[in-house]
Amino acid sequence: MNRKILITTLLLLIVIPGMTTAFTYNSKEFKQIIGQLDMQGHADHELSTCSVKKIYYDEVIEMLNGGKTETEIIQSYVDEYGQAALRTPGGGTSGWIAWGMPAAGVGIGSVIVGVWLRKLTVKKAESKLETKEEWTSEVEKEIAVKTFDEERRKLF
Amino acid sequence: MYLIGNISIYLGIVISLYGIIANIVGIKKKSSKWLESARGAVLSLAFVASIASFLLLYLLGTSQFQYKYVASYTNESLPMAYKLTAFWAGNAGSLLLWAFLLALYGAMVVFSKEKKNPMMPYVSSILMVNILFFFTVMALNANPFEMTDKIPADGKGLNPMLQNPGMILHPVTLYMGYVGLAVPFAFGIAALILKRMDSEWIKLTRRWTLLAWLFLTLGNVIGGWWAYLELGWGGYWAWDPVENASFLPWLTVSAFLHSVMIQERKNMLKTWNVSLIILSYILTLFGTFLVRSGILTSVHAFGDSNLGTYFLVFMAFMMLFSLYVVMTRYGLIKKDSSPIEAYFSKESSFLLNNLILVAAAFAVFWGTMYPLISETFTGTKVNVGAPYFNKVMAPILLVLIVLMGICPLIAWQKAVFEKFMKNMLWPLAMGVATAIILFAFGVKGIYAIIGLSATSFMFGTHLQEFVRGINARRKATKENILKAAFKLTVKNQRRYGGYIVHIGIAIIAVGVISSHTYSTEVLKTVDVGNSIKTGDYSLKFNELTEHTKNGNGIVVADIDVTYKGKDIGKIKPEKIFYETWPEPSTEVSIKTNWSQDLYVVLSSWENKDKVTFMVKVNPFVSWIWIGGIIMVIGTAFALIGGRPTTFRYQINKGISKVGG
């Protein structure tokens, strides 16, 4: 009898914490997973009016409460729908190209601009106007010159 | 009515064809009569497009359901404002709107004070080719005056999502931006055809380009505002393909507006500028192609016809034509280009800024098109959603903000590093202070802190430029601070208009970074009398009531809201059940203060006493709208004043001579 009580108590101790930590729509883990899923194009829809999104939400909650990890849940969707299950490109060549191309674009663009600048730039002695310490900034110089002009026009 | 509508469309085709031919004959024969006649054709086009547009408005307003378009997008119970704005709810109407705006722009251009400019016949021909295309597509594929086989008792009604003030303004402003870009494009091509490689076309189109940019900005901001209020997901920008389509030309025109300054002052970057304006124009066509082709999944429900093919063909034609003109004049453009004098100069920094803007455009384009590219070449369907764009665009936009902070401090021709560092001291201190304050207040998220500090640095630079300008003016004139500030900005509208736009961008950046990083969301089911607590807010659910308005069923939740324990009134999110629409529409309820929005959605209910709400606290979202307004004010300020830069330099040169 005592053994039965002991086993039941132990089982309850194992199950109760699991029950109290049941996942909800507000759980961080849930939000993290759901944020990665495209949900057949319904990811940005409003939950209350989108039945497809609701199904996904409930499925993910069920899987989380069933003890599945984030990786397992995501993988289960990728197994079912392929890369199209995710909101962003995943691994593989296709994913690398998707993520790498903007960086490559910036890199190639920088090289082009660099070469262009080199071609466009001529070494020239510093202009006298620029080296004068009369003006502390370009703006100050321009504003003052314009203001002098206005004053001149007023006077003459 | 049917006859008038259809005749106006076919007349549009005939007149634009005639106008193009009259221009060609006029140019060939050097006949002012023919050119005058072509000008008359542009005016007639504006008249014909106006007749067609006002007729469609009349048909929509008076519920003439014998017309397919009216029956498809309106119904009897629709308020008059939305009946009229159904004009641009569908393909046929929005094409007519495009043609109408383009014809109006065309008439304004050819009857401007530059009407005798030799470029004008070419400009008007290019604009008329565009108008011809739109009228032809309407005649062949999307006629707004097509009749129904059987007159329905009532129309289908307007998509509930479009029944919002944002949707009255968003499409029109965006179209005015799109259409407006055809003008600088036409001038650029005209200048190339005429082999006029100076900066005249840039000076002539400065205001048109700024106007187009202003409307593109306004269109995008209003679009974001509409999405935030109407779509119910709590965000304002989803990187949807159609949103991206309007963002792409905005980025390239932003680059163009900066690089033309170099051409105006220094006679540089001619090829680059003409390429940028061609690219921007092509991107407006590309955007329209994306919206109408349905090749990509989007929340914008236009992609239900084969209109995309027409746009693809036209886009290819315009692209090849532009490319041909540029290639045949390439040698001439390069011939008298001036060099840059130093790596470390404003010219170089503008080039870098251009690189970043174009890189941003490329990244957005790549992300938008990648699902299609991937499926075509690898057979694998890949989605590219908001998280991708956020990750890719964040560093690019961060660099852009830093550059916006640095560029105003660098001198033209050749900057001196020590002077630059001295100028950067205070703005940099402001950026660092922001980071320290954020850390001290326990704000988390290193990337957000970096972004906010960079924004603060950028804002600091512009503030310093204002202060310096005012001080310089006061030193020279002994004016009081207010008069000096007023005169400084009024006498330098281009510069300070631009700075105001940058300040607007800084404010938007604070809103975007904060709302993206620090937003919280709770989805909770509550019984009557129970409360939801989130952040400093507490929401007590009182009751769920039902009533009808315009024949539609409305369910409203009544909620008392307290902020930091203090009662701040009620909030009433709704669900509207439209008679003519299968799905209910969500009307979110928002309480705004200077630092955050409480955003509540009535999600669902089991019965009247047990309701589920989505409650979001979005920090600084209102800053995005305020920043947008400031950007528009800054652009308008630069637009209404300011002479071409070269003109100002001539004055300055004159002064130098007088001063010896």
- The arithmetic mean of pLDDT across residues A109-116, rounded, is 85
Which of B508, B504, B506, B501 lies closest to B642 in space, CA to CA? B501
Give the pairing of strands B531-534 and B585-587. Answer: unpaired
Report the C-alpha gap between B243 and B287 in whole angstroms: 9
Report the C-alpha gap between B293 and B215 in whole angstroms: 24
* Cβ-based neighbours of B568, under 8 Å, separated by 6 or more: B561, B562, B591
Q: Which residues of chain B neighbour A78 with C-beta distances below 8 Å?
A: none
* Cβ-based neighbours of B284, under 8 Å, separated by 6 or more: B178, B179, B181, B182, B249
Per-residue b or e along B478-499, where b marks 16 or more CB atoms closer than 10 Å to that residue's CB:
ebeeeebbebbbebbbbbbbbb
- Token pair of B353 as six digits: 């800024």
Which of B268, B75, B283, B269 lies closest to B174 in space, CA to CA? B283
> H helices then E strands: how many in chain A?
7, 0
Report the C-alpha gap between B76 and B64 in whole angstroms: 10
Which of B230, B162, B122, B339 lies closest to B573 in space, CA to CA? B230
Which of A52-61, A124-133, B403-412 has the least mean pLDDT?
A: A124-133
| A-B Cβ pairs (cutoff 8 Å, strict) | 201
Task: List helix spans (H) across B414-492.
Answer: 417-440, 446-477, 481-491
pLDDT for residue A50: 81
3-class secondary structure, B534: strand
Does B413 contact A127 at a Cβ distance shorter than 8 Å? yes
pLDDT for residue A143: 75
pLDDT for residue B512: 96
Q: Which residue of B has its CA nearest to A123?
A: B341
Positive or negative: CA dihedral B141, B144, B145, B151: positive
- Tens digit of pLDDT for each residue in B533-555? 998 999 999 999 999 887 789 99
- Token pair of B373 as six digits: 């590219």
**A73, A60 Cβ separation under 8 angstroms:** yes
Does B233 contact A137 at a Cβ distance shorter than 8 Å? no
Angle in degrees, 0-180, between the axes of helices B446-477 and B417-440, rounded to the nearest 10: 130
Does B385 contact A43 at a Cβ distance shorter than 8 Å? yes
Burial class (CB in 10 A: 0-12, 13-18, 19+), A67: exposed
pLDDT for residue A26: 86
Residue A51 distance to chain B (closest CA, Å): 11
Longest Cα separation, chain A: 115
- Token pair of B244 as six digits: 């991206």
Q: Does A96 touch chain B (CB under 8 A)?
A: no
3-class secondary structure, B571: strand
pLDDT for residue A118: 79
**A23, A64 Cβ separation under 8 angstroms:** yes
Which of B381, B397, B529 lies closest to B450 in space, CA to CA? B397
Within 10 Å of residue B457's Cβ, how many Cβ atoms? 26
pLDDT for residue B230: 85
Q: Which of A45, A116, A146 lies closest to B491 in CB terms?
A: A146
Does B343 contact A121 at a Cβ distance shorter than 8 Å? yes
Q: Which residue of B has its CA nearest to A24?
A: B523
pLDDT for residue B267: 79
Does A25 contact B523 at a Cβ distance shorter than 8 Å? yes
- Tens digit of pLDDT for each residue in B627-656? 999 999 999 999 887 665 544 444 444 444
DSSP code for B193: H
Give the residues of chain B that fall short of pLDDT 70: 294, 296-305, 336-339, 642-660
Q: Which residues of chain A neighbour B475 with C-beta distances below 8 Å?
A: 144
**B144, B100 Cβ separation under 8 angstroms:** no
Does A138 contact B346 at a Cβ distance shorter than 8 Å? yes
Q: Which of A95, A110, A130 lies closest to B411 in CB terms?
A: A130
What is the amino acid identity at position B355? L
Does B385 contact A122 at a Cβ distance shorter than 8 Å? no
Per-residue b or e along B615-643, where b marks 16 or more CB atoms closer than 10 Å to that residue's CB:
bbbbbbbbbbbbbbebbbbbbbbbbeebe
- The arithmetic mean of pLDDT across residues A113-135, rounded, is 60
- Token pair of B585 as six digits: 């529409």
Does B340 contact A117 at a Cβ distance shorter than 8 Å? yes
Residue B465 distance to chain A (closest CA, Å): 7
Q: Which of B348, B411, B603 lies closest to A138 in CB terms?
A: B411
Q: Which residues of chain A neighbour B391 with C-beta distances below 8 Å?
A: 88
Q: Does A145 touch chain B (CB under 8 A)?
A: yes
Residue B582 distance to chain A (closest CA, Å): 10
Report the C-alpha gap between B462 and B502 in whole angstroms: 8
3-state secondary structure B237-298: CCCCHHHHHHHHHHHHHHHHHHHHHHHHHHCCCHHHHHHHHHHHHHHHHHHHHHHHHCCCCC
Residue B554: phi and psi, rounded to 5, are -125, 130
pLDDT for residue B198: 81
**B130, B19 Cβ separation under 8 angstroms:** no
Residue A8 distance to chain B (closest CA, Å): 33
Q: Which of B346, B469, B586 lies closest to A143 in CB terms?
A: B469
